[in-house]
Structure 1
Amino acid sequence: MELSRFPRRKYTPYVTPIEPMNRLSQELGGSVNLFIKRDDQLGLTGGGNKTRKLEFAMADALLKGADTIITCGAVQSNHCRLTLSACIQENLKCILVLEERVPGSYHKDASGNNYLFQLLGAEQIVVVGLGEAPQKVQEMAAELREAQGRNVYCVPGGASNEIGALGYCACAAEIQNQIFEDTSLPRMDYLVTASGSGGTHAGLAAAMYALRSSIKVVGISTRHPEDVQTAHIHALADKTLKFATGDGTLDLPTEKVVVKDAYVGPGYSLPTEGMQEAVTLFARKEGILLDPVYTGKAAAGLIDLVRSNYFEPGSNVLFLHTGGAPSLYHYMPIDTNLPVAGATSKVANDSDEKKSD
């Protein structure tokens, strides 16, 4: 896997740290050792996992002479914030297509990422209904090319194609190198990540396989049922594996894609008690902010998997913090009176109910 073959911009001039979460580990019983990869500290405005993917997507856009980027995401999209930030860095125009995945969820004067879209100066913000964003992106691109002669480059939602997923192939290699170079870090047994549009999860799964790593990647779905998300991630990871290695005969084994879907709750971006507990626990035990849509639900999954003994005793478990804290200020309030010591997560109960179905 020779990633130097691909054009890349560099938006983070350092390696994001891996830190122990000793207090959270003890809070959860001490049966496993929890660590966190701080991709919330990546470059561009506010950081987050999309920064890694945009390093490759924007390089491809520049190589193709683009002057305008169009992309899409949910109404509080971290991806849209970071794509807009990258466009500022590269002096490109940027148009955002926002998808109301929950009816009535877009508000022009909302805080969080929506405020940052306006502060950073998106050329245009277009709001569409559920499932309409990809087609709208293509329609707008065609109109701009024909009417204004623009060279438009379309970045898919989450930059989640084989080009964007290279960012998390690079991250997998970075993690392996950190563990090798830092003698204070143990060998990791598991890597837990949010699994949404899929580029992060797919890139990690593809690269860990290509690198012959023993780390098991576990994706916590933030939107789709397990069967749908597993099929989506496997298809993208397999495509990424072939793209990254240049070996079209290399297939990703299906067992390398693991998705847990018991933590989505009533739907995308809709709160759960497990998410609220996770956000509160990370804040009070480690001083780390999570977002309610992705990292909060992924952390709810992590906590429930620890409590349900999914990980073998003594395992070293790395949680990938994919960022997203700006949206925390929009989705408030988190119930700060929620008890956390010894609390029983509603998500855990939902999971148990699912298992008994």
Structure 2
Amino acid sequence: MNNKINIANLPTKIEKLEKISAELGVNIFFKRDDQTGSEVSGNKVRKLEYSIKEAIDQGCDTLITCGGIQSNHARSTAAAAIKAGLSSVLVLRTNEEPEVDGNYFVDRLLGADIRFITSDEYSNSRQEIMESIVKELEKDGRKGYIIPEGASNGVGSLGYINFVKEVLEFEEKSDTKFDTVVVAVGSGGTYAGIHMGNDIYLDGKRRVVGFNVCDTAEFFKEKVKEIIEESKEYLNKKDLEKVNSENMDIIDGYVGDGYALSTQEELNFIWDLAKKEGVILDPVYTGKAMFGLHKEIKKGSFKNSKNILFVHTGGLFGLFPKKNQFEFKS
């Protein structure tokens, strides 16, 4: 699982949230994958390191991917492509002329080739649209490599198998052992990688919990199974024997108003955590997932957890377009 290029700042640090831990009566640690880099910040770059290496090995010169107008993954892909000496085409979902803000602003700064499609086109034909771009590039003597939404596929998930190994190396150097890992689930690849890493390195003995930020828990359990199946061609025989696509723990109920839509309670939670801990969550992924974890701990859903590692997957740029939705009070 070392067939990758090196772009991210790794390993990312782990820090304890002292005030929230005291408030909830359980140790909450953050794995700061929001600090994997500036332009490429977040969890996506761990997956892109593998995807881009495969693209280069196949002789491709252009990365083609998709996402919403404020996609962290699209922005990270545009930046990572430049660092790897490649071009990028971003197929972004929007139904109106977007404001140049947040991730989309950074996409523009990075000079990505941006194509807009409607929500209906995104839902029903984004793969066909990306394949048509591959053919378009071929006419100019170029070769495109398609990366799915969130780099959530077999090769991309390898980045989060290695993430588990990184956590174990931290544990070996410290007195802390994590019994639970928590992560937002938006396209499934990050959760799939951690789930497989738990099986490969820990015989599935840690609890790996996802909070879906769109769709349903059942939808993502099936999606993660598909990603795990895709990943098998990249695993050696010994690791393959350990991987189990069952026993997935994804907690539903915290999608709120929908994907990338924020309730006032969610935004207030992000603001409150920032004031308490000096850590800023994003409104699409980590804000919803941490909000859910906070609620579920109070419900008793994590009564057997002593040390919880929450994966901060980044997304800071996506917060800026929502600045006017916050109800700041003196």
Given the two structures, how large is their TM-score scaled by the length of structure 2?
0.92
Bigger mean CA deviation after superposition, 227-236 or 239-248 = 239-248
Is residue 172 of structure 1 aligned with residue 168 of structure 2?
no
Tell me the residue number matched to 1:84: 78
Tell me the residue number matched to 2:101: 111
Is residue 156 of structure 1 aligned with residue 152 of structure 2?
no
TM-fit CA distance, 1:334: 4.4
**What is the distance in 2 between the residues matched to 1:115 and 1:306?**
37
Tell me the residue number matched to 1:48: 42
Q: Could you say if the C-alpha distance between residues 246 and 239 of structure 1 is closer, same or farther in structure 2, counting changes exceeding 3 Å?
A: farther
Amino acid at match of 2:81: C
Amino acid at match of 1:216: R
TM-fit CA distance, 1:14: 3.4
Tell me the residue number matched to 1:216: 207
Bigger mean CA deviation after superposition, 149-158 or 231-240 = 231-240
Of residues 252, 256, 268 in structure 2, which corresponds to 1:277? Answer: 268
8 A contact 2:15–2:31 mirrored in 1 = yes
Identity %: 34
Tell me the residue number matched to 1:198: 188
Amino acid at match of 1:55: E
TM-fit CA distance, 1:152: 1.0
Of residues 161, 164, 187 in structure 1, which corresponds to 2:177? Answer: 187
Is residue 8 of structure 1 aligned with residue 42 of structure 2?
no
8 A contact 1:11–1:44 mirrored in 2 = no
Bigger mean CA deviation after superposition, 153-162 or 207-216 = 207-216
Deviations 1:121-142 (A, max 9, x none): 0123333324132221111112
Of residues 33, 39, 44 in structure 2, which corresponds to 1:39? Answer: 33
Partner SS, residue 98 of structure 1: strand
Of residues 9, 17, 23 in structure 2, which corresponds to 1:21? Answer: 17
- The 5-angstrom pairing of residues 128-143 of structure 1 reads 128-129=118-119, 130-131=122-123, 132-143=125-136
8 A contact 2:14–2:31 mirrored in 1 = yes
**What is the distance in 2 between the residues matched to 1:142 and 1:292?**
36
Given the two structures, how large is their TM-score scaled by the length of structure 1?
0.85
Amino acid at match of 1:320: V
Q: Which runs of 5+ in 1 are unaligned?
A: 340-357
Q: Could you say if the C-alpha distance between residues 109 and 253 of structure 1 is closer, same or farther in structure 2, counting changes exceeding 3 Å?
A: closer
8 A contact 2:62–2:142 mirrored in 1 = yes
Give structure 1 regions of 4+ aligned residues with deviation exceeding 6 angstroms: none
Bigger mean CA deviation after superposition, 210-219 or 172-181 = 210-219
**What is the distance in 1 between the residues matched to 2:249 and 2:43?**
19
Amino acid at match of 2:51: A
Count of residues paired in the alignment: 325
C-alpha root-mean-square deviation of aligned residues, in Å? 2.0
Q: Which runs of 5+ in 2 are unaligned?
A: none
Q: Could you say if the C-alpha distance between residues 281 and 215 of structure 1 is closer, same or farther in structure 2, counting changes exceeding 3 Å?
A: farther
Deviations 1:84-116 (A, max 9, x none): 00111122111100123xxx3x53333100111
